[in-house]
Structure 1
Amino acid sequence: MVERHNTDVLFKALADPSRRKLLDLLHANDGRTLNELCEHLEMTRQGVTQHLGVLEAANLVATAWRGREKLHFLNPVPLQEIYERWIAKFEKPRLKAISDLKKRLEKGNG
């Protein structure tokens, strides 16, 4: 049940375009402050803070303090887990089919 809750929280976090933009910003330049992130979004600081809270709850963003500044960092581990659970298993048969086709074509030309 805990895994389902974590997955639900993660997909909810990814469902919003503003949160995906925050993740893209952190991917491009990790360790940003709230002010730096606000510069790229047309919303209030409070709105950005709320979106960051959802991303933190989903474990997609980690924070660290540097003096008085709170820095935000992308945590790609949950995304890798989604890839392994939901994407990679569907990719394997396709890749195997391409590999098998390549082997058959090479046999025909040999």
Structure 2
Amino acid sequence: MDQYSAELDTVFAALADPTRRAVIGRLGRGPAGISELAEPFDMALPSFMKHVRLLESSGLIRTAKQGRVRTCTLERQRLAAVDGWLAEQRAIWEARTDRLEAFLLDEQERAETNERHREP
């Protein structure tokens, strides 16, 4: 497995959980402290910290401690790598569906031409 695939696997695994996706969504508006991020979730802080650590180990967020406050920041370039991969996949599938559409239109045209030639 190449490094690019391993990195994508790590990011997608981190994004598989709705709590972590919500944290990413919140951090999209700017940095936030752990307490602020944890507030909307009905879980103990140690449980929430597991989500934070996973997001950090995936490279999606960075944390920094200043005094007693730990602040999280979104690592946007990591999301850009995922966006790049998704764009590649979208282009591949759009090309495939375009070819399928062209094939089906060609088949329909042939069928109509054959039908016209059969008519007396």
Indicate whether the TM-score tops 0.5. yes
Q: Deviations over 1:30-76 (max 9, x none)?
A: 22111111111111111110001111011000112222211001111
Aligned length: 94
2:66 corresponds to which residue? 66
1:2 corresponds to which residue? 3
1:1-110 to structure 2, matched below 5 A, reads: 1-28=2-29, 30-88=30-88, 90-91=90-91
**Unpaired segments ≥5 residues, structure 2:** 99-120
1:6 deviation in Å? Answer: 1.4
**Unpaired segments ≥5 residues, structure 1:** 98-110
Question: Residues of 2 paired with 1:83 and 1:7: CA distance?
Answer: 10
Instruction: Give, as a single letter, the amino acid of the residue that structure 1 aligns with 2:22.
Output: K
Using a 3 Å threshold, how does the CA distance of structure 1 residues 11 and 89 change in structure 2: closer, same or farther?
A: closer
Q: Deviations over 1:3-49 (max 9, x none)?
A: 22211111100111110001111112x22111111111111111110
Question: Residues of 1 paired with 2:59 and 2:88: CA distance?
Answer: 21
Question: Residues of 2 paired with 1:91 and 1:8: CA distance?
Answer: 20
**Structure (1 or 2) with the larger CA radius of gyration:** 2
The secondary structure found in structure 1 opposite 2:32 is coil
> How many percent identity over aligned positions?
26
The secondary structure found in structure 1 opposite 2:40 is coil
